[in-house]
Amino acid sequence: MGRALVASWKRFWFEPATPTNLGVARCMFFLGLTLFYLPHDFSGWGAVSPALFQPIWLFDRLGLPVFDEDVLGIIQVIWKLALFCSTIGLMTRPSLFVAALLGTYLLGLGHNFGQTYHFDAILVIAFWILALSRAGDAWSIDALRRAARDRDLEDPAPSPEYRWPVQLILVALSFVFCAAGIAKLRGSGLQWMFSNHLAILLDRVQYHISDADPVLPWSSTVARIPGAPRLMAISTILFETLYPISLFSRRLRPIMITGGIGLILGIRAMMGPTFENFLLVNLFWVPWDRLGCWIRARFISGTTIHILYDGRCGVCTSTIPVLRRLDLLHRLRLVDVTREWDLISARFPTLTRERCLADIHAVTSDGSIHTGFDAYVALARVLPLGWIAVPTLHLAAVQRLGRRLYRRVADHRIRSCEMPVASAPPAPLS
């Protein structure tokens, strides 16, 4: 019994996982925060009278001051840049640390002036967990740069390092929900569910007796539907107190997570508190690796592009590992002309070795051949990250500039690739 519990505990925290879930969740989480806080201005706290400053525990123990508006303006710019860099995975570890450090300060500022909120503490917890993790090993510019520098670098193997950060964030999220439900029962008992307490709260919001700012003017209407407020109160307590079940039950997990999201949306819509940023933590529930496999299996066609490149070229061989990382839909076949020309000529008889060595070629499944800059345009159509650039790449001015730049780089690398490379036994083309 004891060994089984220890084994279950280890599996829960440290079962090897791929870096995909942590990497994608990091990317999506910080993208949402970047967009959410980009228009937000924290510098106004610097103009609040010091007489109103009532420091919370963290600010009091560390002696953190409230800086003036100019300094806060600089701090928030650095923080927002750190959020963006954490999104794209540029200098990921320093970016995550700066995002956690400055985020703790900026998000904590508003709690020092008479009212303590509870919708952003989970964000600070997630910041520090990610700052201590290897969240930049996948889905990051850092990972692409490492692949370009080390051509033999393989994708990171499954590791406990990619599981415990996700699990710890989800445990913290579960405790937030559970603590909210327990606090309601501890303060009001069963009367919180079976009295008219929630109906009164909804009426207060409707008639602006509180400082809430609901999205929809339905509070008073819902409060007068017989039994609706009590049903809502019972559902709230059940979903909050039982939310930790999501950590262990795969069957109940979708129900509990959906209920928690619905609870937050309902509070925002009819009662006012802004929990939008809180919702971003739910991104860590998503099994991104399995979702990617499911999408590829059901919605992605089997269209394949053969990319023919010069294996003697340092630029080309540095680009190939990056393309492998970006090929999320598994639609590229990367072929070295210097090593596999016999097979290339057999499959694509219209191509010549000289032209393939001079320019990168992209051959689509319908037989269309794209060379040089146009090959990169064809690549952009099948790489998810390239879809953002596709409309721009079709502009006439962009194509003229792209072809000119490609030609200059290609001519330069041809002159630097004069030493032949010994051929190796070719691999079959798929």
Mean pLDDT for 32-46 is: 93
Confidence of residue 300 (pLDDT cuts 50, 70, 90): low
pLDDT in tens, 384-395: 888 888 888 888
In whole angstroms, how far apart are CA 210 and each of 42, 66, 72? 24, 28, 30
Residue 415: the pLDDT is 63
Separation between Cα atoms, residue 345 and residue 337, nearest integer Å: 10
Residue 299: the pLDDT is 62
Give the tokens for residue 381: 């159509």
Angle at 135 between CA 12 and CA 143, to 5 degrees: 135
Confidence of residue 277 (pLDDT cuts 50, 70, 90): confident
| Integer-rounded Cα radius of gyration of the chain | 28
| Greatest CA separation for the chain | 85
Separation between Cα atoms, residue 76 and residue 44, nearest integer Å: 11
Q: Which of 102, 156, 104, 92 is nearest to 130 (CA)?
A: 92
Confidence of residue 421 (pLDDT cuts 50, 70, 90): very low
Residue 424: the pLDDT is 45
- Give the distance from CA 40 to its chain's centroid: 20
pLDDT in tens, 328-378: 888 888 899 888 888 888 888 888 888 888 888 999 888 889 998 999 998
Which of 23-37, 249-263, 307-321 bottoms out in mean pLDDT, i.e. has the lowest? 307-321
Angle at 29 between CA 28 and CA 30, to 5 degrees: 95
| N- to C-terminal Cα separation, the chain | 51
Give the tokens for residue 193: 């569910």
Q: Is the pLDDT of residue 152 over 70?
A: no
CATH level 3 topology of 300-415: Glutaredoxin (3.40.30)
Enumerate the domain spans of the chain.
12-162, 300-415
Mean pLDDT for 153-175 is: 92
In whole angstroms, how far apart are CA 241 and each of 27, 117, 287? 30, 20, 24
Q: Is the pLDDT of residue 52 over 80?
A: yes
Three-class secondary structure of residue 58 per DSSP: helix
Mean pLDDT for 60-78 is: 94
Separation between Cα atoms, residue 430 and residue 427, nearest integer Å: 9
Q: Is the pLDDT of residue 161 over 80?
A: yes
